[in-house]
Amino acid sequence: MSLSFPITALLLLTQFTWVWTSLNQTVLWPRETDRSYFGTSSRNEAARASSSHVRARSIKDTKHLELLVVVGHDVYQFHKQDTERYVLTNLNIAAELLRQPSIGAQLRVHLIKMLILTEPEPEVTITTNLTSSLIGVCQWSRKINPEKDSEPLHADLVLFVTRFDLESDNGNQLVRGVTQLGGLCSHTWSCVITEDTGFNLGITMAHEIGHSFGIRHDGEGNECTGNGHIMAAEGGYNSVDLTWSECSRERFVTFLCTEQATCLRNLPATELYLSGRKPGLYYGADDQCKIAFGDKASACTFNSQDIDMCKVLSCHTDPLDHSVCTRLFIPLLDGTECGPNKWCLKSSCTSLGDLGPIGVVHGAWSRWSPQSDCSRTCGGGVTLRHRQCNNPRPAFGGRTCEGSQLHADMCNTEPCWEMQLDFMSRQCSDTNSQPLYLTEKVPVYYKWLPALGYATGDALCKYMCRVEGKSFMVSRGDFFVDGTRCELGSSDSATSHGVCVAGRCQVFGCDGRLESGMVLDVCGVCGGENSTCRELLGSYTAGAAREYVTFLTVPPGSTSVHVSNSKSVYSHLALKVKGQYLVAGKGKISLNVTYPSRLEDNRMMYRLYLTRENFPHSEEIIIPGPTNETIEIQVYRKYRPEYGDIVNPNITFSLYIPKNQSVYTWIPVTQPCSATCGTGVGRVQYICADGQTEEEVDTQHCSETLQPPARLELCSTTPCPPGWEVGPQGPCSVTCGGGWRERDMHCVRREGRKELRVADLECGSIPKPESVQKCNTQDCPARWRVSAAGPCSASCGVGVAQQAATCVQIINGTDVEVNETWCGETERPTVLTQCIVSICLSELGTESWPGVSKKLGKEVETPGNGTSSPSVSVGSQTFLWVPRTGPCSASCGEGVADLSYMCVDRETHEETQPEHCLQTFQAQVHQVHCTNQPCPPQWRYETDTCSVTCGGGVRRRILYCARDVGLREELAPDGDCLHSPRPADHQPCSLHPCPARWRVSEPRRCSAVCGAGVAERSVTCLQFQNGSDVEVNRALCGAETEPPAIVPCLVNICPFGLQASNWSECSHSCGIGIRTRQELCLNLDSQQPVHRSFCDHLPTLLTTQSCDAGPCPTPGTSTPLAPTTSTTQALPATTQPPAAAPPPANGTQRL
């Protein structure tokens, strides 16, 4: 399809960038992105009236140009959230130019609508074919622009902004805009295409709108010069000084007098608000540099004295090298601050006092940027929105913006397959292939690990990594990936997330929002009220020697778990998960542990606290939870309980579980005290019970932990009152038929384990028990009763006596004779019994001894009454058994004596061999009671506990005076025992040696002047012996528990700083040369040089600069003026020598 239309007007712009390095100049072409925002400005028309001639020919009625601005998607992708402000700023620059009095009429520009395309528009295609591009834009604009001028949203002109590099048909790439000459107010051709080239875009807009008025380039078909005006063919850069030429003014006035200009005569029904403030209030010098040279550019920190800083845009393009300034020969925007109380106006740095009264400008926020993509796919990334306080910037004493410029939310929080620490480690290890220059031009390669534990907060987020096996850390880049976890180093760490965002360790609430202040309650509920869980409390002081014993099983879902042991010298805690020990487990106490790492949300922390002598003082386990699995908390004790309470652990614990969840544990249950008053003993047994209700359940619920053994413990009640002590029952007086038995009765008072006998009067209020009781009341069987024997038939020696036998039965305690048949078949006793009156001393024949005869010197038994004689005759001698009583067993009180029989010669009365007497008659030896005088009282004592458990101590004796009365002990006054020696009040005890232990001294001086170092201390093996510590062989303490002799120490934080030496002499004796100096990293406390890596966080000092040694005295030549130091500083390592080029006379050059 071919169309014919009038000539298309083109705007050709040229652009140069000058880099000043020494005396050389080079041309650069900036093409970088920008992320800034600023507004618009307006001018006082009366102050800009050019001449009376212009005023005389100006049109009095104000004309109104209604614009619809369309921003292409490529412009949006480049400027992002700053797109609207950026386009408005350039549009206002164009509006300022169109309002200049030099145009010959009062023209006002109204923005009816701005349309920003965030995605490509299929019907709009911008190519190198300008004609087809303009046709496509004009045709598409008719769909979005109402046709009738009377409609409120109708625009007189559609202005399309693109970043496509426009190109003319002849290949000229300096084209910056295209429109139909005189196409304004035309339904078909009222559209303009402009190319975004930075702040020249405002001039391009004004230039192309001028073409739409029918204005041609200056010098094309008219007599106006080609440069210095808005409609110059090659464009311009000075948005302040450019004016409309007389040719442009005459053409515009002519256009206004035609019917084609009728669309300019009506006021718009609506328009978008355009600020009247200067654009420099929205875009500072730094922002203008970023627009021209990219995000890393910044305004120069020094100025050349040969040119006003407002006339050129001077920028540092290398963030690591601020010794070089790159110049773009365009003026700074009006309103840009150029000094204290100064700003740029018409390319000149002007004092505020020269501008008249100016009101304060309060800062205002820009719009929020679109939400960024999540920085991580799992593990908790962040999505960000930004805004800036530049809409406008605060000026002239105005307030800055309130609130945060960053909004961040956590995203993709589901766990990754790797830990948070692994994610940080991977970022550090990714830099292993990047060399570190500890010495200039000498690369060194290391393996890099996270500096976790060595740096916290913002410092850690600055990509801080440490060298494996070395003692220094270095920032390996700008910062870690957003979403990398960091250690807050504050109390917030337990309930909030520390997340790296743009190199800073930011605090995120548990709701995943930046600085929301939301925290987890003890139940693990974000922002909860501690109402969905219940607390379990407990304590433990037992355990088994040299064994790990589980005393607490933490179920899944538990929160706020806290376990502490305040006696960790001879016991320590352990933590076990799935059969694996995470804390301790090898029979010795653990160092501080955080598992899996300090960066994990669901972590377990163990902390050990030491005394000043570096002995374990206490320890604790903290698990914020919620726990995902069953966790066993154990205790290990070195010694058995008999060593005393000092070796027992003292453990308390608390945890929270959901209210609908039960935890089962062994709880102690004490049986009733053995005494109702005074001190007794209670048995403590452990039962399996619900940890909350303490109701007993089946023991299988506690099968995962070992049941503690039962134990006895003392129990004390109220003191006992005096009472009757009833002795044991005596024997019954009879075995049947009803008898009596008696028992002793005393009034006593119990004091501890002793019973003191007191007067019976003290027990008067207590009924005295009966001391005599009936016994054996059952009827006795009938029996034979033998009467006492009658007179012995012999006057000496052995004879017989007669006795009567009757059948009797005990009735009511008295023998009553009954019929002999009641005695049944029991054998009736004999009526004769043997008797011995005394030993016959006269010679008697053997015939007088019944049953004994003398025959051949042998013992001959003769017939008799069936009994044997107690005597034997051998020859003429007669022998018989005689009783003999031994000594009493007690010298006082009651005792026993042995009663035996000896064989004696009847004639001599002397003891002889037992064989001479009749063996069948010898009675067995037996004991008989003997009574002496009562025994005197003696000192007695009871002992107290030993003062120590080992190593030799003393035990106190409690002395008292007492005597034995029968089988009982009876107290007596102390005066009754004065006759006996008083025992010592103390006695030695626990003489066995104590277990050896390690003792460490105070650490000696730290090896470091500041920062971290090491210190030595002495470690000795001691044993408590005889009341004092004695050094013993180290093997007795055990090498596995030996404390380290070298411990870490921290004096204070080392301050480091950079210091430079004096400048060297100039390398040339005349003309321009260079001079150098050395840079040193110093410990500011000791003033000693340290490794350069300690100062990597500080900006590098200038070590090389040019110097002017004065003009060289060579005749006939002259030395060009050297630039000032502020414009010629350079680091040789980062700046390439530019190609020489003479500077243009006016700062621009046509290509």
Annotated binding-site positions for Ca(2+) = 66, 149, 156, 263
DSSP tag of 523: T
Strand duo 805-811 + 852-855: pairing: unpaired
Residue for token digits 């004695």?
Answer: 1030
CB 126 within 8 A of CB 133: yes
**What's the CA gap between 260 and 527, in Å, rounded?**
68
**What's the CA gap between 307 and 313, in Å, rounded?**
11
* Secondary structure (DSSP) of 566-625: S--SSEEEEEEETTEEEE--SSS----EEES-TT-SS-EEEEEEE-TTS-EEEEEEEE-S
* Residues of the binding site for Zn(2+): 207, 211, 217
CB 521 within 8 A of CB 622: no
Total residue length of the chain: 1151
Q: Write out the H or E segment, with its range, that includes residue 775.
A: strand 772-775
For residue 596, is the peptide bond before it cis, meaning its omega torsion is within 30 degrees of 0? Answer: yes
CB 899 within 8 A of CB 928: yes
DSSP tag of 1063: P
**What's the CA gap between 181 and 179, in Å, rounded?**
6
The one-letter amino acid code at 102 reads S
CB 314 within 8 A of CB 421: no
Q: In what order do the strands lie in the sheet with 27-28?
A: 27-28, 17-20, 325-328, 313-316, 298-299
Burial of residue 855 (CB within 10 Å: 0-12, 13-18, 19+) is exposed
Beta strands (DSSP E) in 79-223 are 105-116, 157-162, 175-180, 191-195
The one-letter amino acid code at 762 reads E
**What's the CA gap between 15 and 26, in Å, rounded?**
13
* Residues of the binding site: 66, 149, 156, 207, 211, 217, 263
1002-1036 in b/e form (b: 16+ CB < 10 A) is: ebeebebebbeeebbbebebbbbeeeeeeebeeee
CB 73 within 8 A of CB 121: yes
Residue tagged active-site, from 84, 195, 208, 487:
208
**What's the CA gap between 1119 and 814, in Å, rounded?**
160
Known catalytic residue at 208: yes
Beta bridge partners of 655: 536
* Phi, psi values for residue 91, rounded to 5°: -65, -35
User: What region does 929 belong to: left with phi over 0, alpha with psi -120 to 50, or beta?
Assistant: beta
Beta bridge partners of 668: 686
DSSP tag of 223: S
**What's the CA gap between 1079 and 971, in Å, rounded?**
96
CB 804 within 8 A of CB 831: yes
Residue for token digits 């005459």?
Answer: 250
The vertex-880 CA angle with 876 and 884, nearest 5°, equals 145
CB 826 within 8 A of CB 841: no
Hey, which residues are catalytic here? 208
